[in-house]
Amino acid sequence: MKRLLLAGGALAFGMSGALAADLPTKAPVVMEAPPTWSGFYIGLMASERAAYAQWTTTSIRAGGLAPDGNTAGARFGNTAIRGGGFVGFNIQSGNVVFGIEADAAGGTNINRHLGVPGGIAAPGSIIDPAVDSTRVRLGWDASIRGRLGFVVTPGVMIYGTGGGAVQQFQSTVACTATTPAAPPPSGGTFCGTSRLENFDQTRKGWTGGAGLEAMLSRSWTGRLEYRYADYGRVNHAYFAGTADQLATRVSVFTHTISIGIALKFGQ
């Protein structure tokens, strides 16, 4: 009897062990690492750029006249669509993100004025708005900037950015010789000869702004950004060395709002 009981106990113990072995086991939970902003990224952007140029005529050689102080200045400005790309690198330390970014984009801001700012001198007109004109055009631009961000949540960052920038700039003065009713300054146009001059220059300046960036997934981010850029003063004399020489000073600056999407290589 005792041996039977011992054998039954051993059998029961063996069955319980076998049953326990057959029971499903719960897999250990693997915690996914939080996303990081560190790493390289490359992206595309679309923007609206508001471009402004403050034009001042500083001297007019024709007839020995000075520019009219009442009309020597004029502001050129309009908005245009701008598109391009950017590339950068981030390093995240806690909730702070340090980065560097470069971008390049193309757009065309063109604004044309009839006549030439400052070209009207009493008692006669030396600029004829019917045949003379002034134009300012801004084309492509690029920048290289630092970025400093703060992680609000693991997938959302606000940041400031600033650095150097370049801007393609063109200004044009066109004038047409007409037969004056009387010699300047009592009448006539400032052009003794019909002339057209385009002045092109790549301006250097600075840019700064701020933005909001969010992780759309572990590899993609989206952003909204605003930047201001100042390209200083452009000094140029049109028709230099002629009797119609016109000296000018133009201050150039822009405001740009962009949306962008980027592919992030750091995980």
Q: Are 175 and 194 in contact (CB under 8 A)?
A: yes
**Mapping DSSP to helix (H, G, I), strand (E, B) and coil, where does residue 266 land?**
coil
Give the span between the Cα atoms of 182 and 135, in whole angstroms. 28
Is the confidence at residue 163, as pLDDT, over 90? yes
- Between strands 246-264 and 220-238, the pairing is antiparallel
Domains of the chain: 43-264 (2.40.160)
In this predicted structure, what is the pLDDT of residue 9?
A: 47
- Residue 155 or 243, more confident: 155
Q: Are 174 and 132 in contact (CB under 8 A)?
A: yes
pLDDT reported for residue 242? 81
pLDDT given at position 180 = 52
Q: What percent of the chain has pLDDT over 90?
A: 55
How confident is residue 17, by pLDDT bands cut at 50, 70 and 90? very low
What pLDDT is attached to residue 68? Answer: 64
pLDDT category at 226 given cuts 50, 70, 90 is very high
- 185 preceded by a cis bond (ω within 30 of 0): yes
d(CA 88, CA 249): 36
The predicted model gives 11-39 an average pLDDT of: 57
Q: Could you report the per-residue pLDDT of 28-52, keeping only the tens digit for each?
A: 655 566 779 999 999 999 999 999 9
**Averaged over 139-160, what is the pLDDT?**
97
Burial class (CB in 10 A: 0-12, 13-18, 19+), 14: exposed
pLDDT at 80: 96
